[in-house]
Structure 1
Amino acid sequence: MIGILIFPDFQLLDAAGPISVFEIAGRFAGAPSSIKVLAETPGPVRSSSGVEMLARSLRASAALSTLVIAGGDGVRAAARSERILAFVRAAAKRGVRIASVCSGAYILAEAGLLDGRRATTHWGRTRHFLSAYPKVKLEPDKIFVRDGEIWSSAGISAGIDLALALMAEDFGEDVSRQTARQLVLYDRRSGGQSQFSSLLELKASTRRFGPLLTWAREHLDEPLTVEHLAERAGMSTRHFTRAFIAETGSTPSKAVERLRLEVARQQVQSSTEAIERVAETAGFRDPERMRRAFIRAFGQPPQSLRRAARTG
């Protein structure tokens, strides 16, 4: 049985998106999924849009195999509910596979299930989440993250990507692909794990380093070491690194790699330029280094992204 945990002012798509994936995947697999919407207080639960879902009591979860936790405006209040936290902890203790969508990661973090684990959440909550839960290994540029039996996904629609991955684990890649086609979606989202423009995301989180980031994107073919960036910012390397992480939620070297990946991905997908030349202009220098970075970020090498773009 799959449980979808909601609360007042939850984000409707956080629940409805995965539910649709589970329904269609079960149909293709010939094993219809038993899906139950759960809430601390059973009955109609109002989403942030005003649309309600009918939920059962948390006690209706004895046979639960997977629990998906929605996010939304009401997540802070839900994360303070001892009953909800106890329910989530008990499910994890029983070996239930647990996943969060968007800011639902706050409930997992409050329950202590993310301590020492890799996780992600909505980009807009990155800085607060990092400061509130320093024990969590947050990966803000991922669409979804799996660490053991604990899964987490980024903002809203990423819950659908996560649900497809869950169904691939349960029923195989063929069923996941059929489900994605039925929903008119990519089975693996083109562009991989980046939620949107790295430059826009980083600049949105900082005014202090915005001009520096713009300059860095225009000089990707230069070394752009931490020392180089710190000097341009007029700061010591140590102070610059600490201030940059506090402002953006990312290390300077990781931010530069994200900018390089974004530029390289655009060139790979939209041009016929040689991969070696793309690696050079994006600042990777070595094509093999760029290939490894693509696999880490997007789950596939540059050549595969290029083929997918041409086929699409």
Structure 2
Amino acid sequence: MSSSLPPPPVPASNTAAAPEVRFLLLPLPEFSLLPFGGFLDKLRFSADEADYSRQRHCEWRVLGLSAGHIVSSSGVATAIQVTPGQIRLADYDYLVVFGGRTARGSQALGEAYGGLLREAAAQGVPLVSVDNACFMLAAAGLLNGYRVALHWRHVQEFHAAFPHIRVVEEQLYCFDGPRISCAGGSAAIDLAVELLARHLGRIRALKGLADMLVDAPRAQGHQLSSLDEDAHAGRHVGRAIALMRSRLADKTGITELAALVGLSRRQLDRLFHAEFSLSAHDYWQEMRLQHVRWRLLNSDHSLALLADEIGLQDASYLCKVFRKRFGQSPDTLRRQPH
């Protein structure tokens, strides 16, 4: 029987060398595992040589208000490594906050976490919000005067809650001085690459992407033209859908929308019919009504506000078109357990 080769020797750690960049990771209750895991694994790959996973070039700790575990939206628990009383916030280069399952839930945590975040900001630690964590930062008064990037699904809700804060749409992440924001999902990997590149250099920041089966990092202005049900749509249709998402309340007509993607209305309708068996107008109307349905189940905002979010004239007209599409009134849907 042939014997296997011994594993390669692990290089001796250099205990004298301090990490070039240090992160505090703050997952909120019911946080999403995808952005948290993607961000953390990118740090791990860049932190050491080969795949030894030691925290040499960068360091991280999972922060919580109290010791124990914090449960993600999928029910998987993550151990809290440090609490505020065990660390000096100023020793860290970034405090990265990962949002909860809903924007409403994250916003409600502003009072509980606000003191910690304000203390970090006062000590010069840049605050990074991932996904809907920006709702909590905004509720704590920490985004006044700053721009924010967030998931397209939450844009209208954020506008309604914080109309004085500027949202940069169609961006994966945004750097605005000591405030950094990210739309969430796999964009957390792209953000991690950019942060690491600023401290460790581009080569080390890119390390491990092939192991993560990521072709290349995306720039902050990368436009997501194909999402969910339109994942196989062509370039023109994908771009039209991205514009529809960012203009739910606009009075833009299909003719103008088609011109923005370089087509006539007839050409755009033909492409939508081929892809979805719907006209571009009907597809946009369905998108708007699905947005309202999601908001009814995930917020307590008024029907008048939701009507305004999708460009309808008033709440009564919203009720009419909603009942026609879903067979029940918005109030009936909201009262149902979910």
Give 1:73's aligned residue: 101
Q: 1:73 deviation in Å? A: 1.2
Tell me the alpha carbon deviations over residues 64-88 of structure 1, each in whole angstroms, 9 at most, x when there is no partner: 2211110131553343332311111
Q: Which residue of 2 aligns with 1:50?
A: 75
Aligned amino acid, residue 85 of structure 2? R
2:258 equivalent among 217, 222, 233: 217
- Mapped partners of 1:43, 1:248: distance in 2: 42
Report the equivalent of 2:174. Answer: 145
- Gap regions ≥5 residues in structure 1: 224-245, 250-312
1:93: how far off? 1.1
Which residue of structure 2 lines up, in the alignment, with residue 115 of structure 1?
144
- Structure 1: distance between partners of 2:190 and 2:218: 8
Residue correspondence of structure 1 range 126-165 to structure 2 within 5 A: 126-165=155-194
Q: Would the alpha carbon gap of residues 144 and 219 (structure 1) be closer, same or farther in structure 2, given more than 3 Å must change? A: closer
Retained in 1: the 8 A contact 2:45–2:208?
yes
8 Å contact kept, 2:102–2:132: no
Q: Cα–Cα, structure 1 residues 124 and 45, in superposed 2: closer, same or farther, change >3 Å?
A: same
1:9 is matched with which residue? 30
Quickly say closer, same or farther: Cα 1:25–1:219, change in 2 above 3 A: closer
Give the letter for the 2:31 counterpart. Answer: F
Structure 1 pair 201–211 and aligned structure 2 pair: CA distance change class (3 A): same
C-alpha distance in 2, partners of 1:34/1:28?
A: 14
Q: CA deviation at 1:214?
A: 6.3
Q: What 5-or-longer segments of structure 2 have no aligned partner?
A: 1-21, 226-237, 265-307, 312-338
Change (3 A) 1:28 1:105: farther
Aligned-residue offset at 1:54: 0.7
Letter of the 1:140 counterpart = E
> Following the alignment from structure 2 to structure 1, what is the Cα–Cα distance between the partners of residues 62 and 154?
25
CA contact (8 A) 2:170 2:221 kept: no
Alignment-mate amino acid for residue 199 of structure 1: A
- Whether contact under 8 Å (1:115, 1:136) holds in the other structure is yes
For the 8 Å contact 2:194–2:205, the answer to whether it is kept is yes
Q: CA deviation at 1:169?
A: 0.7
Tell whether 2:62 aligns with 1:37.
yes
Q: Which amino acid aligns with 1:165?
A: E
How far has the Cα of 1:221 moved from its partner?
Answer: 5.0
Paired amino acid for 1:71: G
Distance 2:246 2:174 in 1: 22
Hey, which of these two has a bigger chunk of helix by percent? Answer: 1
* TM-score, structure 2 as length reference: 0.59
Partner residue in 2 for 1:276: none
The AA in structure 1 aligned to 2:253 is L
Q: Percent identity?
A: 27
String of CA shifts for 1:251-278, please: whole Å, max 9, x gaps.
Answer: xxxxxxxxxxxxxxxxxxxxxxxxxxxx
Give the letter aligned to residue 244 of structure 2.
K
Structure (1 or 2) with the larger CA radius of gyration: 2
Amino acid at match of 2:135: Y
Superposed displacement of residue 204, structure 1: 4.7
Amino acid at match of 1:58: P
In structure 2, what is the Cα distance between the partners aligned to 1:8 and 1:91? Answer: 20
The one-letter code of the counterpart of 2:43 is: F
C-alpha contact (below 8 Å) 2:47/2:57 kept by paired residues: yes
Secondary structure at 1:48's aligned position in 2? Answer: coil
Give the aligned partner of residue 60 of structure 1.
Answer: 86
The answer to whether the Cα contact below 8 Å between 1:65 and 1:97 also exists between their aligned partners in 2 is: yes
Q: C-alpha displacement at 1:28, in angstroms?
A: 4.5
Alpha-carbon contact 1:10-1:74 (below 8 Å) kept: no
Residue-by-residue CA offset, 1:29-66 (whole Å, 9 max, x unaligned): 98343211112232121111011101132333413221
Aligned partners of 2:239, 2:201: CA distance in 1, in Å?
32
**TM-score normalised to the size of structure 1?**
0.64
Describe the shift of the 1:99–1:207 C-alpha distance in structure 2 as closer, same or farther (beyond 3 A).
Answer: closer
Deviations 1:212-261 (A, max 9, x none): 246622575599xxxxxxxxxxxxxxxxxxxxxx6479xxxxxxxxxxxx
Contact 2:103 2:154 in 1 (8 A): no
